Amino acid sequence: MGWNHTRNRAARAAVIAALAAASIAVAGCSGGGGGGDANLVAGKQLFVEKCGSCHVLARAETKGTTGPDLDAAFAAARREGWGDESIGGAVHGQILFPATGGVMPAKLVEGEQADDVAAYVAAVVARSGKDTGRLAEAVEKAGGGEPAIAKGGVLSIAADPSGQLAYATNVAQAPAGPIEIQMPNESATPHDLKIEGTDLATPVVKAAVGKATGTLAAGKYVFFCSVPGHREAGMEGTLTVK
């Protein structure tokens, strides 16, 4: 009887390990291992900066398209009754040891930062609703800034500094005629800025300012990021030229 009980416990442990491995395989790029001392606000900020350009996580409002949708990846784990600690452990393991052959580099965050990211992901992944309190204010809403208005022949439209797939604003204005467009990008996520229907396009940059010059006729245009997946995630806006 005792041997059978031990064997059953070992079998259950093997099943849990297999489920964890499956979740890790689809989880893509995420963060750290959690625990009661984790800083969820810092974890959300780091997740958006380091992982949001790759992954969907509804509560973080990230819309990355390169890696798996984390809410979908962990939906089954939630249904199976996994707690935050188990999910956080799976996420933390993926940060340190990403799936072989994937595009995610190892140790995007380490130490306490990895713990914070994993704890945040575990707290919100595959859960409905929205972040509240300090978590709701941890990251500025993407694209919600004041309109970009050309000054002195220069139109500057910044990429979101936190690394989200967005510009700081989705509305811009400029006069017709010669123009220089600038796209400051403080983040480590590569972006560019193109104006649809024209030859105006900055180079793809990260932690730099992309620039391009040209001429704009009066009308309405769409500006967007041409890095694969970024426009699809919502990185675009409207430019009015008068």
pLDDT tens figures, 29-63: 433 455 567 999 999 999 998 898 889 999 999 98
Which tokens go with 28? 């893509």
Average pLDDT value for the chain: 86
pLDDT in the model for residue 33 = 52
User: What average pLDDT score do residues 127-149 get?
Assistant: 91
Any long-range contacts for 13-16 (C-beta under 8 Å, 24+ apart)? 16/86
Residue 75: count other Cβ atoms within 10 Å of its Cβ. Answer: 14
Most trustworthy range by pLDDT among 20-24, 103-107, 121-125, 159-163: 121-125
pLDDT confidence of 136, banded at 50, 70, 90?
very high
For residue 218, is pLDDT > 90? yes
pTM of the model: 0.71
Q: CA 29 to CA 118: how far, in whole Å? A: 11
Distances (CA, A) of 32 to 65, 67, 100, 134, 189: 21, 17, 19, 20, 20
For residue 227, is pLDDT > 70? yes
Q: Is 91 exposed, middle or buried (0-12, 13-18, 19+ CB in 10 A)?
A: buried
All structural domains of the chain? 2-136 (1.10.760.10), 148-241 (2.60.40.420)
Q: CA 152 to CA 219: how far, in whole Å? A: 20
